[in-house]
Structure 1
Amino acid sequence: MKKNARGSLVRPDPLPDSASHPVVTPLSPSVVYASETPDMLDDQYEGRLHGYTYSREGHPNADVVAARLDAMEGVSGGIVTGSGMAAVTAVMLGLLDAGDHVVGGNQLYGRSMRLMNEDLPRLGIATTLADPGDAAAVAAALRPETRMLLVEVVSNPTLRVADIEGLAALCRERNILLAVDNTFTTPRGFRPFEHGADIVIHSLTKLLAGHSDVMLGYAVARDPALAEKLRVFAVTTGLTPSPFDCWLAERGMLSFELRFDRAQQTAAILADHLASLPGVTRVIYPLRADHPDHDRAKLLLNGQGCNMVSFELNGGRASANAFTRAADGLSFAPTLGDVGTTLSHPASSSHRVMSPAERKANGLSEGFFRVSVGLEDPDHLKSIFTDAVAAATAVRTDA
């Protein structure tokens, strides 16, 4: 790089060389990167040199995060996007064409469901929803033009466990891409590529970053050609992640395993406690013996229950309001994966776009809550939930 000997130009010289290096990854907010010659720029664009040109096409902080997640998932070539839904969009629109058909799990995240029900059909991509826990039901939904199956390992928010083994066998037989959203389970709980997945998606916003101050997504395909298609589509459509968010996400990922293990232990304790409380009619946690997919969860998740717990109050919206008001110290917020425990009410947040009848068919009543368990003391959490459930029950009794 040419040196600015007189110091008269607006832009400073590059950082000085150093025999040592920073322990913390530097934040690189620059939108543009300078090259010495057109030949060097050609070499970068054509893959003979590695370098950065324009941050929409890649930047160091995104590459650091992608490499870390690649290692966790046991693959290479992943991309980081500006949100989890950007990652889902990159997979759907980057790999599917008008005239294709895609099958989705019938209990996907609300915005993924909207993409399936409204946006993809508008663009000429046909969609069908089917129960991912029933490979036969998914097989019945397939068509000759089916190109992809999108499922969550553990569904949001009902925590049903997909029959990944059966679905992977079906996709291999029919030459269909299996895309797995691994956000709830994370690579700590499940590694989809080891079970036949072709594509893995994450909302980095959640457990991986873990502090509710980052919005990022991640997508990767096992096939390098498909991974490159994902990258090109993300660059073209500007699904670019913020360098600062990537820098924060890397920091969060350094403590991810410790946070995951602690939150998972507490989630199992809280699930059992909720089941003991009068006024709670249903508790959903994959490792509980009464979970409808308990045997599959034990086999597929290798004893990992993860940090999400869902439960249902015996009451309607008034009881739900009373519960959140009385849950002192817990955030009622439509997110998950924070260091603190958060409460989510699907009927008023993630699944509000569904009709009451659709929510009822999916088991999402006004009394249904999803809990993202954080790092609090388990006994303290038990006390909070005891008081909050009692408050909700009192409203129902008064009514």
Structure 2
Amino acid sequence: MTETPKNQPNSLARRPKWPTSTSRPVVTPLQPSVVYASPDPDALDAQYDEGSGFTYAREGHPNASVLAQKIDGLEGMSGGIITGSGMSAIGAVFLGVLQAGDHVIGGDQLYGRTLRLMADDLPKFGVQTSLADPTDANAIAAAIQPNTKMIVVEVVSNPTIRIADMDGIAKLCADRGILLMVDNTFTTPRGYQPFDHGADIVIHSVTKLLAGHSDATLGYVVAKDPSLMEKINIANVTWGLTPSPFDCWLAERGLQSFDLRYDRAEATAIELSAALAGLPGVTRVLHPSRPDHPDHNRAAKILGNRPGNMMSFEVAGGRKAANALTNAAPDLPFAPTLGDVGTTLSHPASSSHRALSEAGRTALGISEGFFRVSVGLEDPALLIAELTEAIAESQKA
């Protein structure tokens, strides 16, 4: 046995104690520790039994807890959890709630990866899935089977900006004892409060508008029923859908300006959609504020004066015109994301919905000239000028 030299301090004795103070930090401290030490086995047992404190970061950590509480407040709920991404939030729900033999109905215009999860992955676990038009509650009703356990919808579809028949779908779920899960990423709690309209589970890709700076990848999920939430949380911990403390810290910082960012971007989206609608070569502009939107009346009823910052438009000329448009707008990031402080352009046919066949995309109204726009905080006049010029260049192509 090798003895520690007398002139060499024991490394354990050098572990510093966390400093205390009668004052508290104004900014939430970042706590990256993966493990938390307990005084003895009895204390650890009690901690697990009571569900209090922190033990191992996969089971929860302070930064995730703080962020979850803040989003809980926005959604009017308690007990929500943060996950590693928006898709992991959806995954935690499916893993925690569904079992072999269950049937799930999804809106046929869900985010592309959600569609892929339902079509390719859930069936591997013996879960049956169907897709139906969320703008028509009768179409959803026709898809219901005796073993239907859950219906999954986005209030505003990604990227086609269609408005789900939330009242009709919520009534179906309530009458038949089916769980309703709402992806509230596009609308956010500022635009729509799902639990006030019959939702049982709400998820977010916090990465997007809530965090708002394209520097944190996170999800959030909360259920109205605490026993259901417990199942979802167990799946989250077991499958290791753990969020990064640093990302949680960044998202909490971003959340401080969420209301201001949302209001500014929403106002610009209204202005931009009106400006693009009259341009040569633009075949469609989709924003809930527009009277020619196919679901305008429903949007006015469900969203009121909160049409949001997300819009889409289509130009004539297919992929060649699409390439010319993005090349002519170098100051507008062409990126498959949304919710940044700056405006971003996305081309669903080559990104979020590339896994669908051309016929499948066409059925959803997604052509090669179709763009989704996440409107940011730029000066509206500058944004309109840049897109106007880019669209003109697309038509020259």
What's the TM-score once normalised by structure 1's chain length?
0.96
Instruction: Give SS of 1:28's match.
Output: coil
Find the counterpart in structure 2 of residue 191 from structure 1.
193
Task: Give a deviation string over 1:48-94, Cα, whole Å, max 9, x none.
Answer: x7210000000000000100000100011111000000001111121
**What displacement does 1:8 show?**
4.2
Q: Distance in 2 between matches of 1:172 and 1:328?
A: 49
Match of 2:268 among 266, 269, 273: 266
Find the counterpart in structure 2 of residue 23 from structure 1.
26
Find the counterpart in structure 2 of residue 170 from structure 1.
172
Q: Distance in 2 between matches of 1:387 and 1:167?
A: 42
Match of 1:394 among 383, 393, 396: 396
Are the structure 2 counterparts of residues 357 and 33 from structure 1 closer, same or farther at C-alpha, using a change threshold of 3 Å? Answer: same
Find the counterpart in structure 1 of residue 239 from structure 2.
237
**What displacement does 1:287 show?**
1.1
1:150-165 equivalences under 5 Å are: 150-165=152-167
Task: Give a deviation string over 1:324-365, Cα, whole Å, max 9, x none.
Answer: 000131000000000010000000000000000000111000
Q: Distance in 2 between matches of 1:14 and 1:200?
A: 40
Match of 1:202 among 196, 201, 204: 204
Q: Distance in 2 between matches of 1:200 and 1:370?
A: 23
Are the structure 2 counterparts of residues 10 and 265 from structure 1 closer, same or farther at C-alpha, using a change threshold of 3 Å? Answer: farther
**What displacement does 1:7 show?**
7.5
2:151 pairs with 1:149 = yes
Task: Give a deviation string over 1:249-291, Cα, whole Å, max 9, x none.
Answer: 0000000000000000000000001101111000000011000
Find the counterpart in structure 2 of residue 130 from structure 1.
132
2:277 pairs with 1:280 = no
Aligned alpha-carbon RMSD (Å): 1.0
Q: Distance in 1 between matches of 2:26 and 2:14?
A: 26
Q: Distance in 1 between matches of 2:18 and 2:124?
A: 50
Instruction: Give SS of 1:327's match.
Output: coil
Q: Distance in 1 between matches of 2:109 and 2:331?
A: 30
Match of 1:359 among 361, 368, 385: 361
Q: Distance in 2 between matches of 1:58 and 1:10?
A: 28
Find the counterpart in structure 1 of residue 6 from structure 2.
none
1:96-115 equivalences under 5 Å are: 96-115=98-117
Find the counterpart in structure 2 of residue 39 from structure 1.
42
Instruction: Give SS of 2:12's match.
Output: coil
Are the structure 2 counterparts of residues 219 and 11 from structure 1 closer, same or farther at C-alpha, using a change threshold of 3 Å? Answer: farther
Percent identity reads 65
Instruction: Give SS of 1:97's match.
Output: coil
Gaps of 5+ in 2: 1-8
Are the structure 2 counterparts of residues 45 and 379 from structure 1 closer, same or farther at C-alpha, using a change threshold of 3 Å? Answer: same
**What displacement does 1:10 show?**
6.9
Find the counterpart in structure 2 of residue 3 from structure 1.
none
Q: Distance in 2 between matches of 1:189 and 1:106?
A: 22
Instruction: Confirm or deny: 8 A CA contact 1:152 1:181 kept in the other structure.
Output: yes
Q: Distance in 2 between matches of 1:272 and 1:328?
A: 23
2:12 pairs with 1:9 = yes
Q: Distance in 1 between matches of 2:259 and 2:78?
A: 21
Q: Distance in 1 between matches of 2:239 and 2:11?
A: 38
The residue type equivalent to 1:12 in the other structure is R
Instruction: Give SS of 1:332's match.
Output: coil
Q: Distance in 2 between matches of 1:7 and 1:279?
A: 75
Gaps of 5+ in 1: 1-5
Instruction: Confirm or deny: 8 A CA contact 1:323 1:388 kept in the other structure.
Output: yes
2:360 pairs with 1:335 = no
**What displacement does 1:122 show?**
1.4
Q: Distance in 2 between matches of 1:71 and 1:327?
A: 39
* Moved beyond 6 Å, runs of 4+: none
**What displacement does 1:389 show?**
0.3
The residue type equivalent to 2:232 in the other structure is L
1:240-389 equivalences under 5 Å are: 240-389=242-391
Instruction: Give SS of 1:375's match.
Output: coil
1:35-74 equivalences under 5 Å are: 35-47=38-50, 50-74=52-76
Instruction: Confirm or deny: 8 A CA contact 1:328 1:384 kept in the other structure.
Output: no
Instruction: Give SS of 1:331's match.
Output: coil
Q: Distance in 1 between matches of 2:194 and 2:250?
A: 26
Q: Distance in 1 between matches of 2:358 and 2:266?
A: 32
The residue type equivalent to 1:15 in the other structure is W
The residue type equivalent to 2:30 in the other structure is L
- Number of residues of Structure 1 aligned to a counterpart in Structure 2: 389
Match of 2:82 among 70, 80, 83: 80
